[in-house]
């Protein structure tokens, strides 16, 4: 990918994105419902391809966004969680700063206390602009790669049955929340209904009032400083960008929060391996990346894209990107460009 535009404009900054690697050193298998094949060993090859491409860019990415589910839950069953994580992290050794998001598979392998002390806690040795209070238990923070640009990492499993002690307030809130909406004995099975109620499953999670209050403060300050904010999270929060079963439990509260702030222009998530895109009525772009884990061997699903992601709320800016991402396996190496007002950002997406 050429790093400059046809007008000689250079990007303000570049970054790489990858979602749902779910590596495990096991044979291929299927998802929870046995409807989708997963290529556990091959996922590390796709990460290597992405890493190689990032390293050969004329202007290398300033940072990498890893959107969660870095290793698969099968590793826990095989007592190989640490080994699998070490294998994947070695692939990131030549990377710039990596900002890790926590998904459900992180919590299948490790509890919250362990993750907070691990290499997946990106607030350690990072340039984060400040984390969410609440005794440091909530994994949420923000950073600024360039003047007037801010990225916010959110903790979608703040309120959850995953990774929390059974005696914790958050765990018991999650149990009460799920049982009020899901009558199944196995809470990983969606409720017997159609529509948005299907999101009430154990492998999803929610945002606490503390985290939402913290985010409100971050976004209010960003509004005042005329910043452009991209929010990063494992779980999607707009029904138009994903299937209902992949939505955060209280997506509506977070959605109302960000739609009330002019600074927010983009929300990026993983979790839904099909990916998705939606531009809401406030002009916020909701981009859900496809999962690496379901890309078959022999397919190079790495796509390099140049776009003005955080510059404006124009629909065509991100829509072009989303179309290319969804066709990644058929259009490897495709390039899309959008340039506005003399400013360009660049993202290399492994989908």
139-179 pLDDT tens trace: 999 999 999 999 999 999 999 999 999 999 999 999 999 99
* Residue 307 pLDDT exceeds 90: no
Give the C-alpha separation, 339 to 350, whole Å: 22
* Residue 304 pLDDT exceeds 60: no
Q: Which residues pair with 231 in a beta bridge?
A: 152, 267
| Domains in the chain, CATH or no CATH each | 14-350 (3.60.21.10)
Q: Please report which confidence band the pLDDT of residue 35 belongs to, taking 50, 70 and 90 as the band edges.
A: confident
pLDDT of the residue at 255 = 97
Nearest to 151 by CA among 227, 259, 51: 227
pLDDT of the residue at 212 = 97
| Residue 163 · residue 107 · CB < 8 Å | yes
What's the rounded mean pLDDT across residues 63-75?
96
Global pTM reads 0.87
Q: How many other β-carbons are positioned within 10 Å of the β-carbon of residue 10?
A: 14
Q: Pull the structure tokens for residue 79.
A: 């007592």
Give the C-alpha separation, 236 to 126, whole Å: 25
Tens-digit pLDDT profile for residues 278-299: 999 999 999 999 999 998 887 7
Instruction: Name 91's Cβ contacts closer than 8 Å, sequence gap at least 6.
Output: 44, 47, 48, 51
């Amino acid at each position: 990918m050429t790093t400059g535009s046809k007008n000689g404009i250079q990007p303000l900054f570049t970054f790489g994105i990858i979602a749902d690697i779910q590596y495990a050193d096991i044979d291929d298998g299927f998802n929870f419902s046995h409807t989708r094949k997963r290529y556990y060993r091959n996922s590390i090859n796709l990460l290597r391809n992405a890493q190689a491409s990032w390293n050969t860019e004329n202007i290398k990415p300033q940072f990498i966004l890893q959107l969660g589910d870095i290793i698969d839950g099968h590793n826990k069953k095989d007592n190989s969680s640490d080994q699998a994580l070490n294998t994947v992290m070695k692939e990131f050794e030549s990377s710039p700063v990596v900002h890790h998001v926590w998904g459900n598979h992180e919590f299948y392998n490790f509890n919250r206390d362990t993750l907070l002390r691990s290499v997946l806690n990106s607030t350690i040795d990072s340039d984060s602009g400040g984390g969410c209070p609440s005794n440091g238990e909530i994994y949420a923070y923000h950073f600024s790669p360039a003047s007037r640009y801010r990225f916010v990492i959110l903790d979608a499993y703040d309120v959850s049955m995953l990774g929390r002690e059974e005696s914790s307030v958050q765990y018991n809130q999650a149990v009460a929340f799920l049982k009020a909406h899901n009558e199944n004995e196995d809470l990983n099975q969606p409720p017997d209904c159609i529509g948005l109620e299907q999101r009430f499953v154990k492998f999803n999670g929610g945002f606490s009032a503390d985290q939402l209050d913290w985010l409100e403060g971050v976004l209010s300050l960003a509004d005042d400083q005329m910043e452009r904010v991209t929010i990063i999270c494992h779980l999607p929060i707009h029904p138009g960008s994903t299937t209902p079963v992949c939505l955060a439990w209280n997506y509506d509260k977070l959605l109302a929060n960000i739609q009330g702030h002019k600074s927010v222009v983009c929300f990026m998530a993983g979790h839904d391996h099909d990916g998705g895109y939606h531009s809401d009525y406030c002009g916020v772009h909701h981009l859900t990346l496809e999962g690496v884990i379901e890309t078959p061997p022999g397919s190079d699903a790495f796509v390099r894209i140049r776009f003005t992601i955080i510059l404006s709320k124009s629909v065509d800016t991100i829509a072009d990107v989303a179309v290319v991402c969804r066709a990644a396996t058929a259009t490897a190496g495709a390039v899309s460009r959008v340039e506005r007002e003399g400013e360009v950002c660049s993202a290399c997406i492994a989908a």
